[in-house]
Each structure stands twice: as structure tokens, then as C-alpha cells.
Structure 1
Amino acid sequence: MKCFFRNLIANNLHTCAVLFREVPRNLKGKKHSSQLWLTRQLQDPYVEKAKRENYRCRSAYKLLEINERFKILQPGHIVIDCGAAPGSWTQVAVKATNANAVQKDAGGIVIGIDKQPLYPIENATLLGGMDFTAAESQNELLKILNGKKADVILSDMAPNATGVRDLDHENIIQLAYSALRFALQITKGNGVFVCKLWDGGKSQQFEKDLIRFYKYVKCIRPEATRDESTEKFLVARGFKGIKSTSSSTT
């Protein structure tokens, strides 16, 4: 019984210490939006968890939940991570596909690309400072694939938000279609496409377009998504190919 109370007190003290540590400091002179961001970061349990588990960003837990639910990443898979910076989805993919050769299963291949610099991730090929939507960037990806097809295309791409909801929605839809067009070229039969969207009037049409090419399409809002965010993810599985459809996407 003494041990029980001792552990209870110790845990409560640890919790209090964490709470006190999470009080933001040095906010003087910062914009209100910056103050809100810092406060939110310090109070976000996924930020702390990502630090403990050595993920570069809290967004890792969105892909981890998607993979847990749909089993989209398997050992030996070839994965392309579009909008990879800072690299947390790439980290998840490296582990899940056995690109790090930790398991006895087949080893996967993981390629990440982003406009922003990408610091090295062991057992992943990274293309930092490259705009995925540019033809030369996609050609570089094709060179790396060297004729191989990908099992999974991930797109966590998002534009810089302007604060104008309709404009931001239009911009992310354009990125989503860019990723989809590329996926249609290089995805294996029964492959997977995962894409982030923000709520808006064109989301439904994009989902309908996915259904033309994939057997199963599911919309998911992972638990790690912040309450104030309008983001959602479309998980499209069972790539059917493009021969059966006569018209192209937007």
C-alpha cells in the first residue's frame, strides 16, 4: 500500500512538473497568432509524444493511425511521400516498409520530396528543395524508380495558408490533383493513394474522381488532427488502373 501511494504521489508530481513546464514564456513582442501557436505547441500531447518517440513532427501520428486502420504500408512496399518535410511521414514509412532492414521480411523503398530542405533520414531517399508539381521534379522521381511502380503514394502537401478559406481550399485541391495525376502514372495495380484536403466545395468532386480509379475510398480525420483544423485525409485503396476510364481528371 505504501508503494502504491508513493508511486501515485510521484506520478502526480511528474504531471504537475509537465504542466508547469508547458507554460509558455518569452511571448513579449510576438504577434498574437505566434503566441497562440506557441501555447498550443506546448500544451499538445502529440508534440511531447513525438519528441519521446523520435519523430520529427506530431503529424507522424496521423499516418500511424491511418496505417493501423487500413494496413496500407507493408514490408517491401515502394512509397513516395509528397510534401515530406520535415520528414515524420517518411520516418513512419521507413519503419513500416522495412526499408531499414530491421525485420527479416523484404525491404521497402521510401522516397520523400518537398520544396523545403529535407535533412537526411536513414534508409530513405530525400529530394529537398524540389517542387513536386514541377515536371523536372517528377522526372527525377521517375529516374529514381527506374521503371518500378510504387505501392503507395502519400500526399501531405498543403499550400501556405492565406486565411481566405475558398482560396486556400482551391490551392490544396490543385495540389491534390497534381499528386493524383502522378499516382495514376506510377502506381501498381491495387496500390494506395493517401491525400490531405481542407474542407471546401470541391472536396466531394475530388472524392468522386478517386472512386473512378480506386476500389475503396474512405475519408478519415485522425485523432491527432487539431480541433480547429478543417483538414481530412482521403484513403484510396485498390488502384484499378486508367484503361477503363475514358476521361481525365481535372
Structure 2
Amino acid sequence: MLKSRLIHTCTSTFKHVVPNNIKGKGSSSAKWLTRQLSDPYVEKAKMMNYRCRSAFKLIEIDDRHKFLNPGKVIVDCGAAPGSWTQVAVNRVNADGLLSDQPRGVVIAVDKQQLFPISGAIILGNSDFTNPVVQDTLKTMLDGKEVDAVISDMAPNTTGVKEMDDENIINLCYSVLRFAVLVSKVSAVLVVKLWQSGYTKKLQNDMERFYHTVKVVKPNSSRTDSAEIFLIAKDFKGLKVS
């Protein structure tokens, strides 16, 4: 539970760490553990009470594009374990800690269990791609239009690149379809995907509904990862014929 505003003042220099407890572990497990222990964002997340390092990806995106402001209504798709939700709650003042600023709303959904986050409305054990779950989200919004839909969702990987790329793109389209139905004019959409042959088509399709769509890769996104984000800004609204 966050009791006060987080101030990003970490200036420590982190050195490469080689773990001494990897005997008997597979090479992939040892590599992952070494990378985790050497990653400054992992340590920084612990210091700042974020649930995982991915918080800094959203922080970087919002620092540049500035869409998480006090009073905004946010839907966080694929939110577990909750680090993006923590950032969103903090920045839109969904916890009400800034008494002189408007209070926002953050709704977080994930197919896994989501432990409570002060200031957030949690919908755990719920598959976002299920239309029933999306109807539940609309009910929870209680008539409010959304200022930003954000998604850090990714499917379980199969190891088959073509299949994995298609699966994550399908998630992105599910988020896009939901966003255009619940967003207010000028809203923002952020989705995660892996760089692939599908990227340009998704970007073009998003541009049908948003005035600008840009590819971003935060510094906190690992350089050896194909992970990128698309941020779509200034939702045009749906024209009713």
C-alpha cells in the first residue's frame, strides 16, 4: 500500500552481479537469475515498492507523453502483478492522496489473481478477451468515459515465433476494439507487442481511430527483447451514421 507520493531519486550505480547459488540450475534459469540480479530496474522496483520492474516502462512512456494526470479514468488490461496499476493510481490520484487535485479512477483486470492495490478497482481471475468480462468492465465504469486504456498484456509463449507474434497481435486488437467503445474523444491507448511483420498493419489500423500512433521502446525495456509499445493519442471518436 502506497502511503505517499513516489519520488524518483535513485542514483545508485549497480554493478554486474554473478549469483553464487546457481549450482544445479539449467543454463536458461541461471541466465535469467544472473540477469535479474544484475538489473538496476529490479532493485529500483524493490526500493520503491513497485511489484515488478515493468513499472518503469509506463513511467517512461507517461513522462514523455503525459496522459496519466489527476482525475483521469484509466483501464489497465492484463494488469498482474500490478505495477502498471500502481503507477496509474499514483499519477491520476485514484488513491486521493493529493487533496488539492481531482481524484481519478483506475480499473485493473487480469486472468490471474490480482492482490488489492489501494485506490484501484480490481477485477482478477478474469480473462479480458472474454466478452462477458468486457461487459463487466463497462458496468464497473458506471457510465464514465475512459481517458486511457493501457495494456502490458502478453500471451504465454510457445517458442514458435509466428504463433507467438499472432497471439500477441490478437490481444492488441482485442484491446483496440474495447478501447474505441469506451474511450472519450482525445483519449490515449497504449499496447505492448513484439516487433514483427504485423506491427505496421496494427499501427495503420489504430490510425483509423487515433490521430497519431507511434512506436516507443522505453529504456527500461531490455535491449535484447523484441518488446515494443504502440501509443495512440487523440482518439477521434466513433461516428454514428
TM-score when normalising by structure 2: 0.91
Q: Pick from 55, 70, 74 the counterpart of residue 65 of structure 2.
A: 70
Which of 130, 147, 153 in structure 2 is aligned with 1:151? Answer: 147
Matched, 1:137 2:167: no
What is the one-letter code of the residue matched to 2:200?
Answer: Q
Q: Distance in 2 between matches of 1:193 and 1:166?
A: 25
2:167 and 2:191 map into 1 onto residues whose CA distance is 14
**Could you tell me which residue of structure 2 aligns to residue 220 of structure 1?**
216
Kindly state the Cα deviation for residue 19 of structure 1 after the two structures are TM-superposed. Answer: 4.8
Question: Is 2:181 the counterpart of 1:182?
Answer: no
Match of 2:9 in 1: none
Give percent identity, aligned residues only: 53
1:88 counterpart residue number: 83
Verify: 1:107 aligned to 2:103, yes or no: yes
Q: Which residue of 2 aligns with 1:128?
A: 124
What CA distance in whole angstroms lies between the structure 2 residues aligned with 1:59 and 1:106? Answer: 26
Q: Which aligned runs of 4 or more in structure 1 are off by greater than 6 angstroms?
A: none
How many aligned residue pairs are there? 229
1:101 shift after superposition: 1.1
- Provide the C-alpha distance between the structure 1 equivalents of 2:224 and 2:171, rounded to a whole number of angstroms: 22
Amino acid at match of 1:101: G
Q: Distance in 1 between matches of 2:162 and 2:195?
A: 9
- Distance in 2, Cα, partners of 1:31 & 1:83: 29
**Which has more helix, going by share of residues?**
1
Of 144-153 and 26-35, deviating more is: 26-35
Local SS of the residue matching 1:48: helix
* 1:56 is aligned to 2:51: yes
RMSD between superposed Cα atoms in Å: 1.6
* Unaligned ranges ≥5, structure 1: 1-13
Q: In structure 1, what residue type is equivalent to 2:116?
A: P
Per the TM alignment, residue 166 of structure 1 is displaced from its structure 2 partner at its CA by 1.3
Letter in 2 for 1:125: I
- What letter is aligned with 1:177? Y
Shift of 1:23: 2.8
Structure whose CA Rg is larger: 1
CA displacement 1:186-219 (0-9 Å, x = unmatched)? 0001000000010111110000011110011111
Question: TM-score when scaled to structure 1?
Answer: 0.88
For residues 116-135 of structure 1, give each alpha carbon's deviation from its aligned partner in whole angstroms, at most 9, with x where no partner exists: 11111001011111100001
